[in-house]
Amino acid sequence: MPRLPTDRLTRKNKGAPFKAPLVVSGKSGNALHVHALEARAARLGLYKGQPLANARAMVQPLSILPADEKADAALLEAIADWCDRFTPLVSLDPPDGLLLDITGAAHLFGGESAMLVHVTGLIAKQGFVIRSAIAGTSLAAHALARFAPAIVPAGCEAAAVAPLPITALDCDDKILRALRHAGLKTVGTVAERLHSELSERLGKSFVTRLKVMLGAEEQPLTPRRALPDLMAERHFAESVVTRDAIAAALLGLAQSFSEILEREGRGARILESVFFRADGKVDRIAIKTGEPLRDPKIIMRLLNQKLETLADPLDPGFGFDLVRLEALLAEETKPGTISFDHDENARRQIAFLIDRLSVRFGEHRVQRFMPQDTHIPEAAGAAVPAQDRDLAPENWTLKRRPGDPPRRPLRLLQKPEEVSAMASVPDGPPMRFRWRQCLHEVVRAEGPERIAMDWWRRSVGESRSDHQKSAGLTRDYFRVETSNGQRLWLYRDGLYRDLGQNTRWYLQGLFA
């Protein structure tokens, strides 16, 4: 789309062309130049990269608007989203191009040329100037689209790109200058040179580039998003709006999905449903499961739950014309779909419950706990998404001796809260303290349990006090019982030896 910036502005102007020829100005250093221009402006002799002052002198009047590369990039992304309906493999070719890998997709649209006409027609209808080409490799297509739009049959890339100027190679200025010095003006003449000769002078990457361009080597596209392991889609001749119709379509997709998954002995772990709106907007709704999944009923239940709890509900607008279900991650399942084993059944039911809750509230809100190899209280137990099956449950080790009362509080405050405390001896437990505006008398206290921050993680050269500043001070923990029987966990931050009277007290946890 050679005129993407101006097309964007014209579209924004409700499709009405500007009164005067439109030029988009860009800034390089301190000089303004022509960043993009309309066909009308180009016909008047203006060109890309021209100093803006020159352009102004040549043509009066001229509509000049500043370039907005971010908006252009966003627009390109949006168009790429829309193009997802043709093939899952769409990649950006910035600043103004898109590459679609249509391998195996063209026949769905009646062959390559029909597909090209179809796609470009739809984009052109939206008010974009578009130039397009189909070729065996991405670089060849890239060059042809810009210099000589064509559909090149497989294996004929070399002949097709031969007459193109060397600028089509899209190399940096140094290489172009070198080629010009050597008297090479077209891609064809460059290709005739010995490759060893070229790599000697211009570097190996240039030769690879050339080979790709000539179709002698493949260069895979970088897809914008992960390719699904499996996908099923349904086109609608007339776009659907109602919930029921959408649900029916999804159910149909889920059913065909489950047949394929069943045959392959796999189940989906991450599912994404993609809704293509007739006006080009694309909504994606993903669900993650802990267990590989293929039962269409369960898939539907999870999807429905997700759809119901969306912060901004799915807006069909003028309707969806394509609904697709993708399995972004499919995994092998153990054979034997029905288990009579009670434990196995229970485990699966719990996993499904966790999936449902995770879909509803977000996976980080449904958690289980993993022990951590640290003695810092707030870090000793990490909450991880309960869906995460990859973490095997580990054993926890008890801090108390058998028969002793608990040594760790049941609840930890999210942040230790500072209390004003009085201790009888500088190193001893507090006698009374004030927390949340209440005065608590300490009747019983146990401690101190001294917990040092990770001093062994101190980096080389860092002094002890510097490390304490970043990692925290050594804490002396006391378990105290107040006069009314409340059991709390307090610590003195820093040692009396180091800080004297400046130590502070914090309350971190509540025992039962």
Comparing CB distances to other proteins, the nearer of 335 and 403 is 403
Under the binding rule (CB under 8 A), the answer on residue 281 touching other proteins is: no
Q: How far is CA 110 from CA 91, 101, 405, 424, in A?
A: 22, 16, 76, 89
Under the binding rule (CB under 8 A), the answer on residue 431 touching other proteins is: no
Asked whether 95 and 109 are in contact (CB, 8 A), the reply is no
Question: Which of these segments, 13-21, 213-221, 230-238, 404-412, binds other proteins (CB under 8 A)?
Answer: 404-412
Spatial neighbors of 299 by CB under 8 A, at least 6 apart, are: 254, 257, 258, 268, 271, 293
* d(C-alpha 153, C-alpha 160), whole Å: 9
Q: What is the CB-side half-sphere exposure of residue 245 using CA atoms within 13 A?
A: 15
* d(C-alpha 327, C-alpha 47), whole Å: 47
- By CB under 8 A, name the one of 369, 376, 428, 471 that touches other proteins: 369
Closest by Cα among 21, 67, 26 to 50: 26
- If you search the block for the tokens 């990269």, which residue do you land on? 49
- By CB under 8 A, name the one of 40, 224, 360, 504 that touches other proteins: 360
* d(C-alpha 35, C-alpha 25), whole Å: 5
Tell me the three state secondary structure of residue 167.
helix
For residues 457-496, which are near other proteins according to CB under 8 A? 479, 481, 483-488
Comparing CB distances to other proteins, the nearer of 257 and 489 is 489
Under the binding rule (CB under 8 A), the answer on residue 361 touching other proteins is: yes
For residues 320-349, which are near other proteins according to CB under 8 A? 345-346, 349
- By CB under 8 A, name the one of 183, 313, 336, 403 that touches other proteins: 403
Under the binding rule (CB under 8 A), the answer on residue 439 touching other proteins is: no
Under the binding rule (CB under 8 A), the answer on residue 78 touching other proteins is: no
In whole angstroms, the minimum distance from the beta carbon of 363 to other proteins comes to: 11
Under the binding rule (CB under 8 A), the answer on residue 356 touching other proteins is: yes
Under the binding rule (CB under 8 A), the answer on residue 368 touching other proteins is: yes
In whole angstroms, the minimum distance from the beta carbon of 90 to other proteins comes to: 36
Under the binding rule (CB under 8 A), the answer on residue 310 touching other proteins is: no
Q: How many residues contact other proteins, by CB under 8 A?
A: 55
Under the binding rule (CB under 8 A), the answer on residue 16 touching other proteins is: no
Q: Helix axis angle, 243-264 relative to 296-308, nearest 10°?
A: 140
- By CB under 8 A, name the one of 444, 464, 469, 497 that touches other proteins: 444
Under the binding rule (CB under 8 A), the answer on residue 174 touching other proteins is: no
Under the binding rule (CB under 8 A), the answer on residue 199 touching other proteins is: no
DSSP string, 84-114: TTT-S-EEEETTTEEEE--TTTGGGGTSHHH
> From start to end of 22-75, where are the E strands?
22-28, 31-37, 63-66
Burial (Cβ within 10 Å: 0-12, 13-18, ≥19) of residue 360: middle
For residues 18-77, which are near other proteins according to CB under 8 A? none
- Positions in the binding site for other proteins (CB under 8 A): 345-346, 349-350, 353-354, 356-357, 360-361, 364-369, 371, 377, 380-381, 383, 386, 393, 396, 398-400, 402-403, 405-414, 443-446, 479, 481, 483-488, 509-512
